[in-house]
Each structure stands twice: as C-alpha cells, then as structure tokens.
Chain A
C-alpha cells in the first residue's frame, strides 16, 4: 500500500504545485507572496487532523487494549509534529512580508505552538517509558487530554480578535477565495494527506518489526531476507 500512497502523494503534490504557481492568479492585495498559502494551509490542516487521528488511535488502544492502535499513534506523531512545525515556519515566512512580523502572540499562533509542544510531549513521554504497553497507555492518556486544544485552534479566529485571518473555506458556506486558488490548496492538502498515510504506514511497519522482534514470523522473515 505504501508505494501507492507515495505515488498518489507525489502526483497530487506535482498537480497542486503546478496550479499554485502557474494557474492561480496573482492576489490583488498581497501580490505573489500569498502563494505560500499552498504550503501553509495544508500543513496547518494536517497538523490538526493528524492530532485528532492520533488521539483517536490512542483512545481505541486504551479502550480495546489493542497493541496495534498504540503503534499507529506512535507512527503518526512525528509526521504530525513535522506538519505543525512547517505550518508555524511557513506562517512566519508569510507573516514577515504581509504583517511586518515573523511572529505575533495571537490566539491561533499561540495555540498552534501549544499543539507542537503537545506533539513533542507525547513523543517524549513514549520514548521515556521503556515498557511499550505502559508507554502506549500513558501516551494515550496524554493525547486524549491534549485533544481539547484542537477545537481551540480551529475556533480561535472566531472567539478572539486575532491578527490571523478568519476562515475563507467552510463546510457550510461558499468559499470566499478564487476557484483556482481553492483547487491548488485542496490538491496540496490531499497530497499532504496521502504523504501522511504513506509515512505513517512505513513507520508503523518499522515499529511492528521492532516490537515483535521475538515473534516467530519476524524471525522467519529475517531469515528469509
């Protein structure tokens, strides 16, 4: 499955970047600098989405006592942290020419930074506990407590007076941006999603092999290769 998702990710990314740079028109307010939206928004969406997925897997592992769920949560965490960092970084690079500042302490940026800390805390806790079952369960509790932050990030632009702009894309209203820009953004978002699936599956494969290294099927596989 991993090659298919990787291929899909690559093709969608190429399509998205093509739309981003050659099809989407120049913004009348921001000029060409706005094009970083095609990296910033998909990575931000993925950072929140992956945290919820990670917390979901962790919750399932906690409730149903399944080992694989905890492994999936561990596999998703580094990718989620990377997307959060990219969202913050690309946002800072966008903020400098448009707002005049790399960073402001408004509600959305601060809560996204807190999300990065939550990811890092999750990874740190899991790596600090030697017993994998206990590590999975402890991480699951932490992830579930932290999932409260994701709605705060999402609604922060509605609840607070923030410098960060409000939502231009909604499930209930027509989008308030040009169709080609929206297309580019959606293509990049899908590309990021496929990439996340590919890397999470690749990572969980390594985690499974590492944790089950004493099992018969692993030894047979290693003997065969």
Chain B
C-alpha cells in the first residue's frame, strides 16, 4: 500500500512540475489576497497586527479552494480516474496520495510563505512561529476535506463556486482554531490548546475526508 501511495504522490508531483504555473498561481494568489487587505482597511499597524492571523488564514482557505477543482478534473477528463476506480489497489490509498500531493504543492508552500506575510503585518516572532505551526497542521485538513468536496462536484456545472460553498463551512473550525492560536499568542496565552484541537481535526478529517471522497468518486463515475 505504501508503494501505491508513494507512486501516486510521485506521479502527481511529476505531472504538476510539467505545469509549474498551476502551483505558483495558488501561491501568488495567496500573497496578493493577503496584500490587498492592508490596502483596503488602511495601514494602521495595531489594526493590521490584530487582523493578521485571520487574514492569512482566510487567504490560505481561498487559495486552497481555488486549487481544489484541479485535483480530480484532469484524471476524470482522460479516463485515468475510472482506471483508478476499477484497479485492485484500494481507492482510499489513491485519494490519500492525491490529497498528500495537493498539500505538498499548495498547502506547504502557503504555510512556508505565511511568516513573510506575517512580517508585512508586523507580527512578533513568537506569533510568526505559531502561524507557521497552525498552517502546517491546518492546511492538510484543507486538502483532505477539499478532496471530498472536489469529488462531490466533479464535472458539475458551476463547480468552482459550488465547491467553495460546500467546503468552506466545513473549514470553519479549522479557521477558528488556527487563527485563534495566533491571536492567543498575541495576547500572551499558550496556543497549545488551539494547536491540539487543530491536530484533532487533522486526525478526524484524515478519516472522514478520504472516505467521503471515495464514496463521492464512485457516485460520480457510477
């Protein structure tokens, strides 16, 4: 099973490297959105420092939702997805591998870029570290639950916006605790409770997300 997992991950990464623009688009979108907020609300440092956690997290959510439709679309279009469904290898491993590759291509770069955005918002060093940690734990949840959303809206008219509507309410707890961890650090509270709950969501979503995605893929491909 580990072989199947690593094979699919490497395949996804290789395919993505052929179109580097897709992954870079997501990262640039994230940076642009996060940079728009100070232009909209004014550059007052105290205000920006207070909003920073929420803004970075929301930009990460939007960037993730932007990239999710592509998770299954290409394989669906050329029939590879159907082969994956009828193959003897368990579909859930394939879905997990795709979600993992999606995280490596979108979530991980976002998380690594976030401290730079945090500097733009004048976050102190401790808060930057917690921001990085919260995103590192939280973005895999986005990939896992997002895979389920992408599978549900596969080939559906109006897919991108519908995917956002379906998946963003499920991301609300991740947003609340992820941004809450950074805000807690800013006011001097230990963020370990928030980060632990994020870890719990990661554990739960790693079960629910792939299960729902497999069921939805079978529904979509009949």
Contacts and interface: CB of A to CB of B under 8 A. Distances in A.
Q: What does DSSP make chain A's interface, helix, strand, loop or mixed?
A: helix
Contacts, number: 55
A145 B118 CA distance: 33
B172 A121 contact: no
Which of B169, B170, B215 is the most central at the interface, judged by chain A CB atoms within 10 Å of its CB? Answer: B169
B169 A128 contact: no
Given A120-B165, A138-B219, A141-B219, A114 B152 contact: no
Contacts of B170: 145-146
Given A110-B172, A118-B169, A145-B212, A128 B162 contact: yes
Given A138-B219, A145-B148, A124 B172 contact: no
B193 interface: no
A201 interface: no
B201 to A, nearest CB: 11
B20 to A, nearest CB: 32
Contacts of A152: 173
A137 B152 CA distance: 9
Contacts of A128: 153, 156-158, 162
A218 B108 CA distance: 56
Contacts of A141: 148, 152, 212, 215-216, 219
Contacts of A114: 169, 172
Contacts of A118: 169
A114 B175 CA distance: 13
A125 B153 contact: yes
A134 B217 CA distance: 11
A120 B169 CA distance: 10
A129 interface: yes
Contact of A125 (B166, B169, B176): B166
Interface residues of A, number: 22
A146 to B, nearest CB: 7
Contacts of B176: 110
Contacts of B157: 128
A152 B169 CA distance: 13
A125 B172 CA distance: 19
A155 interface: no
Contact of B152 (A117, A120, A142): A142
Nearest to A129: B156
A141 B148 CA distance: 9
B216 A117 contact: no
Contact of B162 (A62, A124, A134): A124
Interface in A144-158: 144-146, 148-149, 152
A195 B220 CA distance: 35
Nearest to A110: B172
The 3 residue pairs across chains A and B that have the minimum distance between CB atoms: A117-B169, A137-B219, A121-B166
Interface of B: 148, 152-153, 156-158, 162, 165-166, 168-170, 172-173, 176, 208, 212, 215-216, 219-220, 222
